[in-house]
Structure 1
């Protein structure tokens, strides 16, 4: 099984993904760890990534996750998932997959980004993240969670969604 926590930078993906990994005793995978140094430098300089920049990053993650699947390891991935074609690449992996889309307004996310220390993604790139985001409204395996909720409510909502999904998987 693969749970992907997705959304723009600063929405709380890594925090929620780590909490879910701990709760369900799954491997936590941070997509940021797969970025090339060149991509990290580009973003740190305030330059948005292109799809051409993102493709090797996605390929690297998918290769890693295929290895995890071969080892029968289930994972929770914190990953932006901005583009529909990129989400599709993860659907092709040998996992049952669900996406949890943390969505919210930029005015909620921007202060969070400005308070982060040590992250290569500057808050100046938040607008470019929204511009790149292809809304997953027509994707049935993407469940939306509003980040205006409290962190506790976000976690509870995510756990309920995942539990219902797991029940359906086990019943099938």
Structure 2
């Protein structure tokens, strides 16, 4: 891992386990934890809660705010771990352009596993009905050298965390 302030960005569709993994990585490395969901406007949350996905134009200010926050933290000497869908290659590139050194961890989870998770999730604004739109928007990070892909099915969160740490540490 770099010694200068940097970011780890955990990416994937809704319900893939981004928040769980990102918070575990933040604890492990002593970094600031960020959840991209906290940066959505009230209007965007309401739209998604009503079952209408955001389009790329609506996502742009959100992605820009995330890039600004990564830069702000790095300027304070703080490394961070961000849970962020980053479904589009352009979103990942926008974060790279923030100037903050970063690595991405992509959680590749079968749609059936995610559907089961979303069906039981009660405290989130994103309804399970938007899962198809998440996969439709997903541009998998193929041939992006700063992305580690972790195939997850019904793995326990502790196992996913261990796998991610080993990959990030190069062991």
Which TM-score band applies after superposition, normalised by the shorter structure? over 0.9
Name structure 2 gaps, 5 residues minimum: 1-5
Distance 2:100 2:169 in 1: 16
Equivalent residue for 2:26? 21
- 1:21 shift after superposition: 0.2
- Residue pairs, 1:55-66, within 5 angstroms: 55-66=60-71
Structure 1 CA distance for aligned equivalents of residues 162 and 75 of structure 2:
30
Mapped partners of 1:61, 1:140: distance in 2:
21
- 1:41 pairs with one of 36, 39, 46: 46
Task: Give 1:116 shift.
Answer: 1.1
TM-score under structure 1 length normalisation: 0.93
For the pair 1:73 / 2:78, whether they are aligned, the reply is yes
CA RMSD of aligned residues (A): 1.1
* Equivalent pair of 2:22/2:82 in contact (CA under 8 Å): yes
* Paired residues, number: 165
> Are 1:3 and 2:8 an aligned pair?
yes
Residues 50-88 of structure 1 show CA distances to partners (whole Å, capped at 9, x for unaligned) of 000100111111112111111011000000010001100
Whether 2:149 is the aligned partner of 1:154: answer no
**In structure 2, C-alpha distance between the alignment counterparts of 1:95 and 1:163, rounded to whole Å:** 18
Residue in 1 aligned with 2:3?
Answer: none
Q: Deviations over 1:21-53 (max 9, x none)?
A: 001000000000000111000000000110001
Aligned twin of 2:142: 137
- Alignment map for 1:90-109 (pairs within 5 Å): 90-109=95-114
Greater per-residue helix proportion: 1
TM-score, normalised by the number of residues in structure 2: 0.93
